[in-house]
A and B are shown apart, each in its own frame.
Chain A
Amino acid sequence: MLSYIVRRILATLPVMAIVALFVFSLLYIAPGDPAAVIAGDNASPADVERIRQSLGLDRPFLVQFGTWLWRILHFDLGTSIFTNLPVGAMIAQRIEPTLSLMAITLVLTILVAVPLGVVAAWKAGSLLDRTIMAFAVFGFSLPVFVVGYVLAYVFALELEWLPVQGYTPLANGFWPWLENLILPAVALGFVYIALIARITRAAMLEVLQQDYIRTARAKGLGQRTILFIHALKNAAVPIVTVIGLGIALLIGGAVVTESVFAIPGLGRLTIDAILRRDYPVIQGIVLLFSFVYVLVNLLVDLTYTLVDPRIRY
């Protein structure tokens, strides 16, 4: 088991290296000369050249990549061109809303999607099943900001049940924090719920045909025990895998959801960085999210043994 974990972690290293190389190339080929930007409008060519040398920008690509990677490994993401603040600090400032939004969405998705998928598989072919699957097709087709605007219009503007937009830090109390995130989480979770419900149904259908399910029925176990204890547990591996892969949807969607609901998180930071062409910030965010994504999927792989004792490494 330990050797598997080590091997699996080692296997993610080349992937992370390629991500790092890609993200570095992004800055390298980005239009505009960072040295000229830092030097300002009144700098002489000699000043620009001096700054370029002090930044190491005149050195070969691989040397620059090496020094950059070395800094990244020491958690130094560079400095924003626009605000002159360290990128790491800017990200740390904005990370709470984004993490909160993603965590609530994840919990909501699992709580809604898995039971939906189980019920759909149990009643396969029925009207209920078809309704759930039709909902899944809609979930895939409605872009996150469309869902966001409709929800905000109905539940915030018309019914006035929840705040229209904004964010309250968790430090100001649990309910104010949650209240602001309910609508964004539902909007963001829409696609994700559709995806997980669909995969849960597919995995459950496969398992429900197995002999041990028939045995369980034959010995008179209740429907709920069969579905959730016998079947769901055995269907868990593909479901957990897709939950991990779906994090990509969540990350991409968070950028947009934050913009619709005016949440001051990483998504807002991304958009500002794009509009200002603040490459170090874009670089830092892409790197961070990719790292989180790889890490989550690594964890998912490692939880297989917990979910399914038959898997041994």
Chain B
Amino acid sequence: MTVSATSTASLPPGLVVAPQLPDLLLPVKVRRGVLGFLRSHPTVAFGGALLLCLVLVGIFAPFLGTVDPTALAPAKRTRAPSADFWFGSDLLGRDIYSRVLYGARISLSVGLSVALLASLAGLAIGLIAGFVRWADSILMRVMDGLMSIPPILLAIALMALTRGSVGNVILAITIAEIPRVSRLVRGVVLSLREQPYVDAAIASGTRTPMIILRHILPNTLAPMLVQATYICASAMIVESILSFIGAGTPPTIPSWGNIMAEGRALWQVKPYIVFFPAAFLSVTVLAVNLLGDGLRDALDPRMAKNL
């Protein structure tokens, strides 16, 4: 226990500084900076590192010993994993290792794009619903309607309307995810509006756009970030499901769902065609979920207490 010396030198006469109380609490090591944050939240560090590896694998896929993932080799069909074909070859003799590595690009870009787009759209809708009273009931009824269609089914229905392309997949999954984000943002906005500091801002004549920008928006960021990671994970699963059932990315694009769809007919005799993309998909989603859980624990202690 230490009592720090008080200096009264700089104070005007007549004022006395209250003596500091002894520090009864044990010192807690406050870790600062990015590295410090990662050390205090190992789940974030682990999930983030794993995800970073997979992103790097996706970016540098051409330099990781891959060949053209769409190159056909009819003479070398359905080879078991070997030195030539690390993960084996598929029905058309394409190298599964190369296809899986390039597939990481599709999954990750779909996951990240959907997380970003759904967050932005949900943020806009949630803010409007939280601030404009007459729009609130209309927007929320529409969101209720969209939410009562199971997300995968909604995405399937939207994909049935359009040609299969990565952009359309992103759009369809985004639309299916928007209702949840806007509900979350609306809830946060409504509870923040009751805060005394918002009342104070209104009382001191701050305009609504400024209140949103300065007082509301920063407080929605933490729950939004957590939500965005979960959306990213779920979007990757939905993308693979869509591709798996033939309603997702076109078959010419090597996405994990497509590779599994192609291996489906043969999976009892050649399980490796399905196994490798399945393993990569699971690890990627796991990494994102760990990141999300870690961020939730770190950023949203109230929610993290129990879950």
Is B159's CB within 8 Å of the partner chain A?
yes
A residues less than 8 Å from B52 (CB atoms)? none
- Do the beta carbons of B141 and A15 come within 8 Å of each other? yes
Cα A164 to Cα B268 in complex, Å, equals: 9
A residues less than 8 Å from B278 (CB atoms)? 143, 145-146, 149-150
The stretch from B17-25, B203-211, B236-244 touching chain A is: B236-244
A residues less than 8 Å from B12 (CB atoms)? none
Measured CB to CB, the closest approach of chain A to B257, in angstroms, equals 9
Known: A15-B145, A256-B241, A271-B246. A290 touches B150 (CB 8 A): yes
Name the residue on A nearest B161 (C-beta).
Answer: A30
B residues less than 8 Å from A293 (CB atoms)? 148-150
A residues less than 8 Å from B159 (CB atoms)? 274
Is A61's CB within 8 Å of the partner chain B?
no
Return the CB mask of A246-276 against B: 1 if under 8 Å, else 0: 0111011101100110000000001101110
- Do the beta carbons of B293 and A18 come within 8 Å of each other? no
Name the residue on A nearest B158 (C-beta).
Answer: A26
Interface residues of B in 259-307 (CB under 8 A from A): 260, 264, 267-268, 271, 274-275, 278, 281-282, 285-286, 289-290, 293, 306-307
Interface residues of B in 187-223 (CB under 8 A from A): none
Is B231's CB within 8 Å of the partner chain A?
no
Number of interface residues of B (CB under 8 A): 42
Cα A271 to Cα B161 in complex, Å, equals: 14
- Do the beta carbons of B241 and A141 come within 8 Å of each other? no
- Do the beta carbons of A143 and B281 come within 8 Å of each other? yes
Among the listed A26, A137, A277, which residue makes an inter-chain contact with B289, where contact means beta carbons less than 8 Å apart? A137
Is B53's CB within 8 Å of the partner chain A?
no
- Do the beta carbons of B240 and A19 come within 8 Å of each other? no
Interface residues of A in 139-165 (CB under 8 A from B): 140-146, 149-150, 153, 157, 164
If A198-B307, A282-B156 are given as contacts, then 8 extra A-B residue pairs at C-beta distance below 8 Å, sorted by A number, are: A22-B145, A26-B160, A150-B278, A201-B307, A270-B153, A273-B160, A289-B150, A293-B148
- Residues on A facing B (Cβ under 8 Å): 14-19, 21-23, 26, 29-31, 137-138, 140-146, 149-150, 153, 157, 164, 198, 201-202, 205-206, 247-249, 251-253, 255-256, 259-260, 270-271, 273-275, 277, 279, 282-283, 285-286, 289-290, 293-294, 297
- Residues on B facing A (Cβ under 8 Å): 141-142, 144-146, 148-154, 156-157, 159-161, 233, 237, 240-241, 244-247, 260, 264, 267-268, 271, 274-275, 278, 281-282, 285-286, 289-290, 293, 306-307
